[in-house]
Structure 1
Amino acid sequence: MDVLRALEKASTSTKPGEVEKACKKENWEVGQNADLQLFATGHAERPMDAETLSVLSLNACRVHSMAGILKALLETASELQREYERCLTPVLSKLSKGIAAIPDELLALIFKHNAAMYGRKQAIRLSHVSRKFRAVALSEHDLWTTLHSGARKEEIEAFISRSGRDTGLHIVVRNHPRHSVSQHFLETCLAVSSRWKSVEIEESFTSTDRPAEFESIIWKMGGASHLHLPRLEDLRITHLQDDFGPGHHHSGPNLLKISWTSPRLHVLALNNFSLAHSPAFAALTSFEYALELEPLCGAQIKNILSILGASPNISHLRLEMSHFLCLVLDEYRFPEVHCPSITSLDLRFQEYTFSDGAEGLIAAFIKALHVPDVQKLSLAIHFRFADVVNHIVTKDVGNEHLTRLSDALIPVANIRSSLTTLAYKFTYDNPRGWKNAPKIFWGTFPIHLDRTPNVSSLTLTTYTGVRFTREEGAVVPSRLHRLHFRGCNRLNGRGVIQTLKATGVWNSIEEFVIEDCVDFKSAVTLDAVGKDEIARLLGL
C-alpha cells in the first residue's frame, strides 16, 4: 500500500516539527477550496449552486476516506508502539541505572580483558573503585595470578592469597643491576612452584659474573632436581643487550642445564640466552630462539641443533640470528638433525652482510637441519645499509651474492615437497639523514620453483629484482595458485610475468596481487599479461 510505504519513509526522513508544519489544512489539496471556507463559516453571500455542491460533496467523501485510513493506521501504529515498549522497557530500565546494572559475570569478563591490557596493577586499581567492583575483582582469581619481582612484599602475599588455591600463576622476573630481585620474592615463588603456568625472566648485567639474585631463581632451579613444575607451559628468558659486548649466551662448556621436571612445557623462547638441552624440554611444541652470533659461533649453532634433535614434538620453530659482520671465516660443519615434527619454520637473519662467512653459515645450518614435513616457511633477511649502497657491488656481483643466498636458503638437493606456503622478505633501514639511498642495489634474486613443487601460495617483499626459474622440460604441473608482491621497490612486472610464462607456471596462477610496489608500472605489466589472461584471472 503506497500510503503505508510513504508513512514509513516519512518516519525516518523528517525532522522534528516538519510533520506538524506540513500537515496544516491549508497544505491539503482538499483544504484549498475557497468555497469551503465561505460556506463552512456562514459568510457566503450567495446560495450554493449545483457545481459547488458537487465539488464539495466529492471532497467531503475524500476527507471521510482519509480519516478512515488514518484511523486504521493510528490503531495499528499504536498497537506496534505498545509491543515495542513491552519489549524494550525492561532493558532500558536496567541501562538507565548505569554500570551498576551490568551482571557480575559480564563485569568479571571486562575486568579480565582490562587487566590483560594494562598490567597486573590494574587489578588493584579496579578493586579500589567501589564496593561492587571490589567484590567482583576479589571473586575472580585470574586477576591476581601475576607475581612480579618488582612488587612489594605485601602485594605478592595479597596476590597469592586472592588467586585461590589452585589457579595457575605467572611469574615475571626483572633482574637488573639497580633493581635486583629480593630473596623474599624468590622464596615465595618457589613455595608455590607447583602452580607455575608461565615464567618470564628478563635480566641484564655488564660483568661476566652472574649476580646472586639471578642465580637464585635460574641456577637454583637448574640445580634443584627435586623441583617439579606440573603446570608450567611457557618459559621465556631474555638477556637485554648492554654497551659492553654481545649477549650473555653461556655457550661454552659450562652451559646451564636445568634439571626440573615439566611435563607440560610446550613453549620455550630464548633471547640472547642459551640453555643446554634438558629432559624438561621433552614436550616442547614451539621453540623460539634469538641470538647474536659470536665470531666463532659453532658452539651456538650446535646447541640449537642439539635442542631440536632431542625435542621430538616441536611443530613450530622460529630462529633469529644477527651480528653477521663479526663472523670469522670458517668451514662450518654441523651434525645433522632430523625434525619430522616441524611443520612451521620461521628463519630471520638480522644485520646480514654479503660475505663468504655469512653465506657459508646459513648453508651449513640449512643443510644440517632436516625438516621434511615443513608446510609453512618464512625467510626474512634484514640487510646492512652499507651493503645495499656499496658502490663495489655491481650488478654481476649482486647477482652472484643473491644466487648463493638463494641456494643456501633452499639447496638444490633439498626438495621441499610438503611445503605449501612460502614467504620471502628482504629489507633494510635507511639511517638517519638519508632520505633516499644514494645508489640502488643492483641484483636479482632467483626463486627456484622446482625446489618447492607443491607451493600454492608465495609472498615476496624485496628491494631486489626477482626472477623465477624451473627445470627445463618439467612435466609436473605447477601448483602455484597465489602470488603476492608486497612492498617490492624494484618490481619489474613485465620481467616477472615473462619468467613465469617461460617456466610454464603462469597458467596455474589464480590470484596475482601487487601491493605497495613503488616502481611498479601497471600499464606495462597489464600489457605483458595480455587481455585473454586478464579475463581468465577475473573469471570473465
Structure 2
Amino acid sequence: MGSTSCSSDEVEDDEYRNVSDVLLALEKAAQTPNVHRVDLRKAFQMEKLNAFQNIYGGDEDPFADNTGGGVVNAAWADRLKKSYSEIFRAKSILQTLLDVTNELQSRFELSQERIKVAKRSKGIKSLPDELLAKIFWFSVWEMGRNGVKRAMELSQVSRWFRNVALDTRALWATLSSVSSLDQTKMLVSRAGPTETFHVFIRLDWPIEIHPFIEICGPAISRWKSLTLNYHRSTDNTDRALSKALVGLLSLFVESRLRSTSLEEIAVIGDRLYPHSSYGCTLTEDVQHWATNLRSLRCSYFLPSLSSPLSTISTLVIIHEIHSLMLASPLKMLLELLLKLPNLSTFELEAHEAHGKYRNEILPATECSTITTFRLQLPGFPLEDFISSNGSCIATLMSALCMPSLEELSISIGIMDHDENFSESESAKLSQRLSHLSRALLAKHSGQIKSLFFDLWIETYSPEEDVTSSLTLNIPFDTITYVPSVTISSFMPVIFSRRADDEDLRHTSDITSECLLLPELKFIGCEHMTTVDLRRTIGSLESLGVWSRVKKLTVQDCKHITREDALNLVGEDRLQYLEWHVELQRSRTLDVDDDYGIESHYSYY
C-alpha cells in the first residue's frame, strides 16, 4: 500500500516561498501608478487586519464594556494567543523588510551619487589633469578629516578620475587614529615618500594608540599639523587629558621621533566642560621633537608651559573666561602669553565674558611682540553686562598690554537684541555698549594702524530690515591716532568725545592738530540708511574732526545710494563700492561626531 509524504526540505521550500511572497506583494504595491497619492495610514488601518477582526470583529470581546470582570471564553482566549503570535511574526517580517530596504536605499543613493559625479565629469573632460587635481584637492580639503572619504569616492568614479586621484598625493595625506590600521597603511602608501601629513589623534579613544604611531611614526618628520582631541565628559577630565597628552608627547620623545615639518598643534578640549579642560603642563620636550612649531590652537583647553616656547608665533584660544571656575582662566591665559616670547598673532574667542570678575587681581602683562590681536565675543548679553571696570572682559583688556599692536579686530555678537525696546531700555543698553567699546579700545589708541569693529545680531538672521533703537557710540578719543578704521554694524553709529558718563565728558579735549584718521570705512552695514550716515557725519562735525577725514568708504550698504553718499560726503573723498562682502564672524574648532576638526576664522 503506497503513501505520499513531503520531505522536510520540501516543507521548508514551501514556507520560504510563502514568506517571500510578502516581498513580491510589497514590490507590486510599490509599482502601482500614483501610489504616492494613497493615504497609507488609511489603507493599512488596523481594523482591516484579519487578526483584529478575529478578536474584536464580533461581539465576543469580554472587555468591550470596560468592566474587566467577565468570564473569558476559552476559545476567544485561544484565538487571542494565536493572533498575538501572528502579529508578533508580522512585525518581525516588517522590521526585516525595513532593514533590507534601508540597506538597498543606501546602495541606490551611492550609485546615484556616482552617476551625478560621472555626469559632472563629462563637462570637465577637456580639463588637463593638473587642473582636475586642483579641483580634487579643494573638494577634499574642505571636508577636513573626512576628506579621505571624498578622495576614495572620487577615485571610484572612473579610471581617469582614479589615475588623477592616485597621482595627487595630497589627497591621501590626512591620517586619523580612529581609522582602521589597514586604511592608515593605505593612506601612508598613497601619500608617497615626500608628501606632508595632517594628523588627527583622539586621546580618549579606547583603541590603543601605539599601533597607529608605529604605522605613521616613520613619517613623523613630514607631519604638517597635529590635532589632539579629548571630549569625554568625566569627573577627572583634566587629569585624564593631562596624562594622555603628556603620555603621547613622551612617546614621541622616547621613540626619538622628531618632526621638522610640524607647524601647528591644536588641542581640543570638551566644549561642555571647559572648566575641566585645562591644567595640563606641556614641557620643553615639545620643542625637542617639533623644532619648527609655529602655531598653537586650543579650544576649551588652556595649557600651562613649564618653559617658554620660543618658536610659537600664532596663538588661537577659544574658552569661557568667567570667574566662576575653580582656577582663573584669565590668569592662566596671561601666564600662557608670557611663555610665548615671540608671539605675533593672538586670536581669542571669549565666551561668558560679560560677568563680574571675582578672582584675584590680574597683574599687568606686557606682550611686546604681538602685532595682531583678533577678539571675538559671541553670544554677548548686553542686559547682563557689568558696565563698570569689574567685568571679565574689561579686566582682561586692562591687564593686557600690547605696545607693538598694529592690527586690532573686534567682533561682537549681540544675543539679546529686540526691535521693540522702550526708549529707556535702548538708552540703557546703548550706554552699556559704549562702555564696552571703551573697555575694548582704550589702551590701544596710540599704537594700531588699522581697526576693524564688527557688531552683529547673534540670535537670529532678520529676513527684513532691522530698525534698531540702539546706538553704537564709539568714544572718538580711543581711535584718534588710528589711520584706518573699518566698522560693520547693524545699528546706527555715532562718535563722541568719551563714554556717556557725565564726569568724563569734560576731561578729554580733542585737538585737530593731533588727529590722524585719513580713512573711515563702513562695510557690510546692511541696515544703515542715509539718515544714519548723516547722523554719523554730524557727530564727527560736532567734534570738529570731520574735515580731517581724508576718505570715507561705503561698501555693501544697500540702503545708501551712490547719489545720497555723494551729497553727504563729496566726490573728492568718497569711495563707493557695491559688491557684497561676506564677513566670517565665528572662529570655531568644531568637533564632529567621530572627533574631527574644522577650523574657520576670518575677519574682513
The aligned runs of 1:359-374 (5 Å cut-off) are 360-374=391-405
1:422 shift after superposition:
1.1
Structure 2 match to 1:112: 137
- Alignment of 1:195 onto 2:225: no
Q: Is the 8 A contact 2:353 2:392 kept in 1?
A: no
Q: Which of the numbers 338, 343, 350 marks the counterpart of 2:378?
A: 350
Task: Give the TM-score of the pair, scaled to structure 2.
Answer: 0.61
- Using the alignment, how far apart are the partners of 2:227 and 2:406 within structure 1? 30
1:103 shift after superposition:
5.8
The aligned runs of 1:410-489 (5 Å cut-off) are 410-411=441-442, 414-430=443-459, 441-449=469-477, 451-463=479-491, 465-469=493-497, 471-487=509-525, 489=527
Structure 2 match to 1:496: 536
Given the superposition, is the C-alpha separation of residues 209 and 423 from structure 1 closer, same or farther in structure 2, using an over 3 Å criterion? same
- Larger mean Cα displacement after TM superposition, 336-345 or 168-177: 168-177
Q: Is the 8 A contact 1:419 1:452 kept in 2?
A: no
- Larger mean Cα displacement after TM superposition, 442-451 or 401-410: 442-451
The unaligned stretches of length 5 or more in structure 1 are 1-96
1:378 shift after superposition:
1.0
SS of residue matched to 2:304: coil
- Name the amino acid aligned to 1:199: L
1:174 shift after superposition:
4.7
Given the superposition, is the C-alpha separation of residues 382 and 259 from structure 1 closer, same or farther in structure 2, using an over 3 Å criterion? same
1:187 shift after superposition:
4.4
- Using the alignment, how far apart are the partners of 2:535 and 2:125 within structure 1? 65
SS of residue matched to 2:152: helix
- Name the amino acid aligned to 1:259: D
SS of residue matched to 1:407: helix
- Name the amino acid aligned to 1:232: L
1:332 shift after superposition:
5.8
- Alignment of 1:309 onto 2:338: yes
- Using the alignment, how far apart are the partners of 2:495 and 2:291 within structure 1? 47
Given the superposition, is the C-alpha separation of residues 477 and 300 from structure 1 closer, same or farther in structure 2, using an over 3 Å criterion? closer
How big is each residue's C-alpha offset from its partner over 1:202-246, in whole Å with a ceiling of 9 and x where there is no partner? Answer: 33222123499977862312444545332211112223534xxx3
Q: Which of the numbers 425, 438, 441 marks the counterpart of 1:407?
A: 438
- Between structure 1 and structure 2, the one with the greater Rg is 1
The aligned runs of 1:108-507 (5 Å cut-off) are 108-117=133-142, 119-129=147-157, 133-174=161-202, 184-210=211-237, 218-224=245-251, 225-226=253-254, 228-242=258-272, 246-247=273-274, 249-252=276-279, 255=281, 259-261=285-287, 262-277=290-305, 281-296=309-324, 299-324=328-353, 327=355, 329-330=357-358, 333-353=361-381, 354-356=385-387, 360-385=391-416, 394-411=425-442, 414-430=443-459, 441-449=469-477, 451-463=479-491, 465-469=493-497, 471-487=509-525, 489=527, 492-507=532-547
Structure 1 match to 2:82: none
SS of residue matched to 1:410: helix
Given the superposition, is the C-alpha separation of residues 187 and 219 from structure 1 closer, same or farther in structure 2, using an over 3 Å criterion? farther
- Using the alignment, how far apart are the partners of 2:388 and 2:268 within structure 1? 27
- Using the alignment, how far apart are the partners of 1:361 and 1:391 within structure 2? 28
Q: Is the 8 A contact 1:330 1:357 kept in 2?
A: no
Given the superposition, is the C-alpha separation of residues 324 and 374 from structure 1 closer, same or farther in structure 2, using an over 3 Å criterion? closer
1:274 shift after superposition:
1.8
Task: Give the TM-score of the pair, scaled to structure 1.
Answer: 0.67
Q: Is the 8 A contact 2:378 2:458 kept in 1?
A: no
1:306 shift after superposition:
2.0
Structure 1 match to 2:27: none
1:272 shift after superposition:
1.0
- Alignment of 1:537 onto 2:573: yes
1:134 shift after superposition:
4.3
- Percent identity between the aligned chains? 22
Given the superposition, is the C-alpha separation of residues 194 and 213 from structure 1 closer, same or farther in structure 2, using an over 3 Å criterion? farther
Aligned positions, number:
429
SS of residue matched to 2:305: coil
1:534 shift after superposition:
2.1
The unaligned stretches of length 5 or more in structure 2 are 1-121, 498-507, 576-604
Given the superposition, is the C-alpha separation of residues 248 and 155 from structure 1 closer, same or farther in structure 2, using an over 3 Å criterion? farther
- Using the alignment, how far apart are the partners of 1:481 and 1:438 within structure 2? 27
- Using the alignment, how far apart are the partners of 1:215 and 1:460 within structure 2? 41
SS of residue matched to 1:218: helix
